[in-house]
Amino acid sequence: MHSKTLAELAAALKNGEFSSEELTKSFLQRIQQHDGDINSYITVDEEHALAQARAADEMIAAGKAGPLTGIPLAQKDIFCTNGIKTSCGSKMLDNFIAPYDATVIEKFNQAGVVMLGKTNMDEFAMGSSNETSYYGGVKNPWNVDTVPGGSSGGSAAAVAARLAPAATGTDTGGSIRQPAALCGVTGLKPSYGRVSRYGMIAFASSLDQAGTFTRSAEDAAMMLQVMAGFDEKDSTSIDHPVDDYVAGLKQDLKGLKIGLPKEYFGEGLQPGVADAVNQAIAEYKKLGAEVVEISLPNSHLSVPAYYVIAPAECSSNLSRFDGVRFGYRCDEPKDLEDLYKRSRGEGFGDEVKRRIMIGTYALSAGYYDAYYLKAQKIRRLISDDFKQAFEKVDVIMGPTTPEVAFKAGEKSGDPVSMYLSDIYTIATNLAGLPGMSVPCGFADNMPVGLQIIGNYFDEARLLNVAHQYQQVTDWHQQVPAAYK
């Protein structure tokens, strides 16, 4: 059962080949058997999962099933889940039981989806390697000595190891696409405002976006169909029509114009990654696409701009974690100041503290104009680069990451080197555009991801472009040997 895609599982459930309860038990057994090796889950609630599976079986029997009814998924531990711990990978929320469901969780519940558990992640989604989690680092199923990427590394690793058929993630600067590339799965970050952020614990409110980890583009289309849509509870949600993502997959690619940014193929790109990406571009040419060289001249400024804007927003968002209302509280505080200082000092990890300090500094009197305001001006220039590019091309392609998965601990002492892991993904978040990473080969026996960037709310085209590539290649079907 674990080797089937979402589309195959949906067909099997509909045909009565097995029940949702049997399917869920199968995945729970795999988690029990294998997750000790990769640490991809923080919380697994078997009782809750099996209750949802039995309810789904009743929906199927009554003829009320939707496309995903009865299918078990994993949810990143950043989405609030009523009655179940939502930790955000932090000691600060280790004791937090969410009193409500995030809109994404609510939509999956209405669709009859089963939640296997909550996946591990970098603390408060801050990291590119999943090593900042309070619950320990996640390991890459392709080589447990390497990282799975971050911050959604638990979701990527769980899907790669077939410990879940699919999973949710969030992407603030590449946190879906980068781990998808390093773990050899398909990762989709929709346009900003396409999926509700209500109940998704905020890191950087103008950048965070929920998305998916799946085996294939077809599976991503099925998940996005459930997740997408306007939500009046989210002030950043945009009221834009939702396409039929599954129906649009079959269109051929003749005449598609692909833009290759020259800035994405320069210094710092690992030769094996470049080779795999170039071979993928060659496949697109065979499918009838036309390739055009383009320029995104301000893309080199995306990392410095991001690491002013994101910490500034996190400094504001994380001020609510003060030891007073919920979450971690220090023992026997002497006074209110001591309560604040020790609760935050003991509850947050080093990377979170680093970003709060940077953000608070950037927003302080005398520095706001020099740092935050300037970064926002650069953000507009980056967005304008993409607008000009999309006047000439339909999609933009390039590598998702500059290198394959690196060894655990290799970059822990060098935050700047770690930040550069997202050099090709950050600009997409600053502009609010949709992006995908699809498996396109291997370098040094580790997966390589091809990044595809689309225009605003053009997820249907992105999914179609990825799906057509996956019809003529089998990179997305590769499984780490230990998890077949």
- What residues are labeled active site? 76, 151, 175
Does residue 28 contact residue 45 with C-beta atoms inside 8 Å? no
| Number of helices (H), then strands (E), in the chain | 15, 11
Q: Is the dihedral of CA 115, 200, 195, 232 positive or negative?
A: positive
Dihedral sign, Cα of residue 22, residue 28, residue 32, residue 33: positive
3-state secondary structure of 465: helix
Backbone angles phi, psi at 409, to 5 degrees: 85, -10
Give dist(CA 184, CA 202) in Å, integer.
27
CA-to-CA separations, 262 to 92, 219, 398, in angstroms, rounded? 43, 31, 9
Q: Return all residues near 411 (Cβ < 8 A) that are at least 6 apart.
A: 129, 417, 418, 421
Q: What span, in angstroms and rounded, lies between the C-alpha atoms of 4 and 10?
A: 10
DSSP at 442:
E
CA distance 76 to 41: 9
3 state SS of 85: strand
103: left (phi over 0), alpha (psi -120 to 50) or beta: alpha
Q: Are 309 and 375 in contact (CB under 8 A)?
A: yes
Distance CA 177, CA 5 (A): 19
Helix (H, G, I), strand (E, B) or coil at 74: strand
Task: With CA atoms as reference, report the closest residue to 74 among 135, 120, 129.
Answer: 120
* 21 touches 13 (CB < 8 A): no
Amino acid symbol at 363: L
CA-based radius of gyration for the chain: 21
C-alpha of 420 from chain center:
17
Q: What is the DSSP letter of 260?
A: E
